[in-house]
Structure 1
Amino acid sequence: MEQEEDRYRAPALDKGLDILELLAGIDGGLTQAEIAKHLGRSPNEFYRMLDRLVRRGYVTRIDGDRYSLTLKLFGLAQSHAPVRRLVSFATPFMRDLAEKTLQANQLSVFDRGSVVVVAQQEAPSYWGISIRVGSNISLYDTGSGHVLLAFRPQEERLMMINEYSRSTEHPTVEKEFFDRLDQISERGYEMMPSLQTAGVYNLSAPILSPDGRAIAALTVPFITLVNTPQAPDITGTLELLTRTARQLSELTGTDGKSAE
């Protein structure tokens, strides 16, 4: 049996997987020499492999000479079937939220360097702000982007920003931006004027995994409805939104608390 397994070995693939598995368990990354020491090999054996992993986006260089995992593997794990399952169980909650608020809402995820709208629920009345499913939206100046960043540890925030920035022009990220993310994490939601559409407020809340990380953002682009007394105001809409997000978080096995 052992000879049969050796017959189909792929040494280069094994070496790459060894690196990924090692870095997955290390905080702060490792140098090339440290990787070689952990794996019992010569440092020169890993130069080309590390270069390819960096070029393919699975590994990034930090502090000049240290290597750390990016979020690409996480993104691959979250794509396709898991996203379809998320949309499937979120849809009835989103429909109920739209009926109670008389506002549209959408679900967004961070997927391989992009913030993507994966589900959209129309407002039940004539008026509402819709965003097409499949649209890529900003990580920096939308409620959804802020929430997806806020409910992650700082190291993961930086990875997400780095991956997003590879294909997008972006302003310099100042300390004040991270301070805002911390405030969002503390209060449990984002509430901000839309920077894309006048008169709209982005209300966003996270759907959290059991470890407290945001796996999705549920957002209501709130507009004030005139001559519609049954419509909740912005405070009532925010309460309904955060309640719905907590219910969806409970389905993932968490109680809706933010990540440490």
Structure 2
Amino acid sequence: MTTDSEEADRYRAPALDKGLDILELLAGVDGGLTQAEISKKLNRSPNEFYRMLDRLVRRGYVTRIDGDRYSLTLKLFGLAQLHAPVRRLASYATPLMRELAQRSKQANQLAVFDRGAAVVVAQQEAPDYWGISIRVGSHISLFDTGSGHVLLAFRSAEDREMMISEHVKSRSEVTLSDEFYARLDQIRERGYEMMASAQTAGVYNLSAPILGPDGAGIAALTVPYITLVNNPTAPDITRTISMLVETAAQLSLLAGSDVAAVQE
């Protein structure tokens, strides 16, 4: 008769176990660890982890910081965002996004971070003839869109740098000024972004964060606002911002965030 221990040993995958041990260890520390520190904490020789760390770095799950320290990237976070949690969030968001479109007379979309970009995971058409829509699945920039600014603004400074690093790995080098980081801080302070679209003339990107239980931004809700001259009763941009922020707060509550505590 086979014991539980023997059964577990039969299906062991030592290399996989080693990689998971590293990921789980790095997930619990700030500032990263050297190869020697990883080996010591996992009670193994440093040589056992050299190839595994190299593969994790090459696959984008781990990055090297300060030359010899290893830290998790946001790749696992990005992968998780595009599966069940995001499908649930999009499902919760759909009726609220539809209501927002009806009230504001504008289209809106929901975006999350994934591997260096903001990815649109849900969108709602404007109820009347005119509106700006972006296809679900579209990858948009972190640096010149309302969604991207909000996704960066409502993360920690460490997370921001990882997100930017993911962009650099998958696309191209960027140079960000002190003014850009100051803008992110201003967005976080006022609770939303309002900016002229860098892609379409006459459009203003209005974006607000969906906050998770820890107060960090997990998604951005964006209205690409256009002035509807043929509909004088449509809400103006100030009223639309209020509707957007209200809807984002409702979605944050559904995501488990204590919005009042975060705002304090």
Does TM-score exceed 0.5, indicating one fold? Answer: yes
Q: 2:86 — aligned with what? A: 83
Give me the whole-angstrom Cα distance separating, in 1, the residues matched to 2:167 and 2:37: 29
Q: 1:66 — aligned with what? A: 69
Note if 1:116 corresponds to 2:113. Answer: no
Structure 1 gaps of 5+ residues are none
User: CA RMSD for the aligned pairs?
Assistant: 1.5
More moved, 43-52 vs 250-259? 250-259
Q: Do the aligned residues in 1 keep the contact of 2:106 with 2:125 (CA within 8 Å)? A: yes
Counterpart of 1:26 (choices 29, 32, 37) is: 29
1:108-160 C-alpha deviation (Å, 9 max, x unpaired): 11123331111111111111111111111111000000000100001111111
Counterpart of 2:20 (choices 6, 12, 17) is: 17
Does the residue aligned with 1:169 lie in a helix, a strand or coil?
coil
Note if 1:181 corresponds to 2:184. Answer: yes
Identity across the alignment (%): 76
Q: Do the aligned residues in 1 keep the contact of 2:33 with 2:70 (CA within 8 Å)? A: yes
Q: 1:148 — aligned with what? A: 151
1:170 is displaced (CA, Å) by: 4.7
Give me the whole-angstrom Cα distance separating, in 1, the residues matched to 2:98 and 2:91: 12
TM-score (norm 1): 0.96
Q: 1:44 — aligned with what? A: 47
After TM superposition, the structure 1 = structure 2 runs for residues 1-260 of structure 1, keeping only pairs within 5 Å, are 1-256=4-259, 258=262
1:86-120 C-alpha deviation (Å, 9 max, x unpaired): 11110110110011111111111112333111111
Give the letter aligned to residue 175 of structure 2. Answer: T
Give me the whole-angstrom Cα distance separating, in 1, the residues matched to 2:57 and 2:234: 51
1:227 is displaced (CA, Å) by: 3.7
Structure 2 gaps of 5+ residues are none
Does the residue aligned with 1:28 lie in a helix, a strand or coil?
coil
1:207-253 C-alpha deviation (Å, 9 max, x unpaired): 11010111110000111111422111100000000000000001111
Q: Do the aligned residues in 1 keep the contact of 2:168 with 2:174 (CA within 8 Å)? A: no
Give the letter aligned to residue 88 of structure 2. Answer: R
**How many corresponding residue pairs?**
260
Give me the whole-angstrom Cα distance separating, in 2, the residues matched to 1:28 and 1:18: 17
Does the residue aligned with 2:89 lie in a helix, a strand or coil?
helix
Does the residue aligned with 2:234 lie in a helix, a strand or coil?
coil
1:11 is displaced (CA, Å) by: 1.4
More moved, 75-84 vs 138-147? 75-84
Give me the whole-angstrom Cα distance separating, in 1, the residues matched to 2:263 and 2:86: 21
Give me the whole-angstrom Cα distance separating, in 2, the residues matched to 1:240 and 1:259: 17
Does the residue aligned with 2:170 lie in a helix, a strand or coil?
coil
Give me the whole-angstrom Cα distance separating, in 1, the residues matched to 2:11 and 2:78: 29
1:259 is displaced (CA, Å) by: 8.8
1:43-73 C-alpha deviation (Å, 9 max, x unpaired): 1111111000000111000011000001111
